[in-house]
Amino acid sequence: MAIFRKLLFPFSLVYGGVTRARNELYNRKILKSEKYELPVICVGNLSTGGTGKSPMIEYLIKLINSEYKVATLSRGYKRKTTGFWQLSGTETAEDVGDEPLQFKRKFPNAIVAVDAHRRNGIANLMSTGAEVILLDDAFQHRRVEAGLNILLSSYSNLYVSDLILPAGNLRESRRGAGRADIVVVTKCPQNIEKVEMERISKSLKLKKNQKLFFSYISYAEKIISKDSELTLDRLKDKEFVLVTGIANPKPLTEYLKKKGFKFRHLKFPDHHHFKESEIENLLREKMVLTTEKDYVRLKERLSPSKLYYLPIETKFVEDEEKFNREVVSFVKTK
């Protein structure tokens, strides 16, 4: 598959040329970006997914939600509804998308909305009294100019080592990283060495004003269902199937294997809507473990006694307080 994609490189040149021309029109102010008086923070990436945007959005909500009225705005990928929708938490993933629904149910006091047209979404959120807006996956949405751009890049697939679509996974040229104020290398090994971080730092060739951080995924010690919790170690005595519908399940599968668990892995595409036939097959399983994002799509269709998810969160290898200060300082000065 990798060899076949490299054969598509000529198409990448065309796609890259189109995105480069579009970015240049925005850079020269020929195409206009909308600025806002309230703090707008964009979390995005250059690649097509799998960099940990959802855990980062949740990290930011927890960081500033106690002092400010925080709103998140997502596209609501693969949702069946259209236009602006402010979540109540009673919707289905099919209505509003899995990640926004996850945000709302996890942080009921936060304002969570979806709108493919970010300007329209922000305008609606401003009328709700939101004091800070977090844009989920909007780095390429140049019609909006965020005050703080946080760019994520996965440790296992840095954007400097990738190619533009369709030969690679980049949505635009690596030069797009120059728009970021903060770059976070995500999903690092927790024990990553200094020399490795220095090597990555040199390879990224960031500007002097750009800040670089390294983060990892922290897995909870318990798995959770609708009605109960189990310590993760209990999985050693259980037969289960792992179900994932995320862009990059490899870190999760490797983590579970290192823990000594034996399981079958059913891998589905990112944001997958499960068919009835797939649900029927899962109903035959003794136990199903899934991600928190997939759980919001499965929890109404599988028995609570057999469906569990493993919570995750973003943590920083070092300089967590420095990252927090960068974000909080932006919000306060804005």
> Which sequence spans correspond to the domains of the chain?
2-68+131-218+315-333, 221-310
316 beta partners: 215
Distance CA 137, CA 11 (A): 24
Contact 290, 243 (CB under 8 A): yes
Contact 44, 182 (CB under 8 A): no
Strands 148-154 and 240-244: unpaired
The model scores a pTM over 0.85: yes
Return the pLDDT at 1. Answer: 52
Return the pLDDT at 145. Answer: 97
Helix (H) or strand (E) holding 315: strand 312-316
| Burial category of 166 from C-beta neighbours within 10 Å (exposed 0-12, middle 13-18, buried 19 and up) | middle
Return the pLDDT at 2. Answer: 64
Residues counted in the chain: 334
Structure tokens at 175: 């030069």
Return the pLDDT at 50. Answer: 87
Q: How many CA atoms lie within 13 A of 248 on its CB side?
A: 18
Architecture in CATH of 2-68+131-218+315-333: 3-Layer(aba) Sandwich (3.40)
Q: How far apart are the first and last CA of the chain?
A: 47
Domain 2-68+131-218+315-333 and domain 221-310 have a common topology: no
Distance CA 253, CA 54 (A): 18
Return the pLDDT at 219. Answer: 96
CATH assignment of 221-310, among 3.40.1130, 3.40.190, 1.20.120, 2.60.40: 3.40.190
Return the pLDDT at 190. Answer: 94
Strands 148-154 and 40-45: parallel
Q: How many CA atoms lie within 13 A of 176 on its CB side?
A: 30
Q: What is the mean pLDDT of each run of 10 residues along the chain (334 residues)?
A: 76 94 96 96 94 96 96 94 95 94 96 97 96 97 97 96 94 96 97 97 97 97 94 91 94 94 95 93 95 94 94 97 98 90
